[in-house]
A and B are shown apart, each in its own frame.
Chain A
């Protein structure tokens, strides 16, 4: 009983780190023993050292902040517009008839294919990156918000009407909470696309940010900085997902799937 509680509680948080730690350990050993050339992959210790060096010079913090800012602004704009369209098209059939067809058509264009066009429009300015991130984040949030509103139990909506809820009460007390689980799926998808878009955009056209840092390091054959950039992207992605999970846990505490046992 005690063992089960222990393994279910504290160890669960630790077990997910076992594999990454083992991989890093094996990697370190392989490089130190000379099985793996440092021209292919620098040792984890070298990557950490590069991280420290860049952190001391302030370069790392500056580039991370720039990337984080682009991601956040792009996500807020794209997610906000996607959420608004998702609500409108989920709630109103007429609205859906007007917009959904066009949006579904645009959705089938890979947004990264627009990079040449976006560079021509905005140069390698901030606007270009934010535009691409916003475009990428828009669709998952739009689709899952619309789907969430649509899939709210019609029996609950009828109950709300029978109990005299006004349209705004019906929205805030029935439709929005009912759509929330699906909206969170969209948010987590959107976060993944957000990082992907940013990485591509920053490696192709940027003068700052993590992606730029990686590309510049490549020019000078600084393999450790390249690997460091990749690791930072992974950690940032993980951090964003963790925040989304925590929010999900708080907002959906009523949901049997998120109930703490």
Chain B
């Protein structure tokens, strides 16, 4: 009896609950966007986007609302079909993104309300959900976003920030090679947003996936990204490298200067658009 109990207890010693994510080697996937265009009806949203994102790079995409930045992510995730051009993954090896390699975080948490927090995280494992150790991976990931104690709760009882953390855990649990972030922090309050930005940066540094962040918050883009891309009139208007040391302080001189430059450009574009509209 006692030996059985010991044997049963042994595995838990091998998997101590730590704040570390399930170990994953740096394995970002390079993405090349080649002449990508998309139109809805007669309305061209993207007109020939060319972009190379290196493996493990953090790229932020900014632009005014309706500029097509979210459409770009949806095309990448194969949720929509391009009207022209396309993608190359892993240095030209694949044209369509392997659904297991890319994960997405939406602006809304989009958790299944009828599944517990832990079951929602397991959605991110896809077909591996039934594999040995799947539950443990989900638990470790939930622990990494500091929500291990909510594992059996319904999503309805969580706060907005907690829901978005569960959504992040769901996106990360499979160890994705690309993480597409579609304004994931847009609906959060300022304090929660800063905490989430730190968490996302930590996770990205730890796992080394390629991150594509669509955001309307220029400060967020400058704080997190290696490169900031600005889309205007369906094309890339600005491609700016951010060479500031991490962790970056929100409001520091370097961040503020870059943020100012990008905002100026965005606003001048907006002024231009207004003038054309008036005419």
Contact = CB atoms under 8 A, between A and B. Distances in A.
- Do A and B interact with each other, yes or no? yes
Interface string B44-77: 0000000000000000000000000000000001
A250 to B, nearest CB: 12
Given A158-B79, A159-B110, A256-B156, A173 B115 contact: yes
Interface in A148-169: 155-156, 158-165
Interface string A233-261: 00000000000000000001111100100
B135 to A, nearest CB: 17
Contacts of B108: 155
A177 B114 CA distance: 7
User: Looking at chain B, what size class is its interface with the partner chain?
Assistant: 20 to 34
Contact of A159 (B99, B106, B127, B154): B106
B154 A163 contact: no
A162 B112 contact: no
Interface string B97-118: 0011001101010101111000
B123 interface: yes
B154 A164 contact: no
B2 to A, nearest CB: 39
Contact of B112 (A158, A164, A174, A252): A174
A166 to B, nearest CB: 8
Interface string A116-160: 000000000000000000000000000000000000000110111
Most A CB contacts (10 A, CB to CB) among B103, B114, B115, B126 go to B114
Given A158-B79, A256-B156, A164 B100 contact: yes
Given A162-B79, A164-B99, A259 B112 contact: no
A254 B114 contact: yes
Nearest to A157: B110
B208 interface: no
A257 to B, nearest CB: 10
Contacts of B86: none
B234 interface: no
A253 B114 CA distance: 8
Interface in B140-182: 154, 156, 170
Contacts of A254: 113-115, 154, 156
30 contacts: A155-B106, A155-B108, A158-B79, A159-B106, A159-B110, A160-B123, A162-B77, A162-B79, A163-B123, A163-B126, A164-B99, A164-B100, A164-B126, A165-B123, A173-B123, A174-B112, A177-B114, A177-B115, A178-B114, A252-B114, A253-B154, A254-B113, A254-B114, A254-B115, A254-B154, A254-B156, A255-B113, A255-B156, A256-B156, A259-B156
Interface of A: 155-156, 158-165, 173-174, 177-178, 180, 252-256, 259
Given A165-B126, A254-B113, A254-B154, 6 more contacts: A162-B99, A162-B104, A165-B123, A254-B115, A254-B156, A259-B156
The 8 closest A-B pairs by CB, nearest first: A164-B99, A177-B114, A159-B110, A254-B114, A164-B126, A254-B154, A256-B156, A162-B104
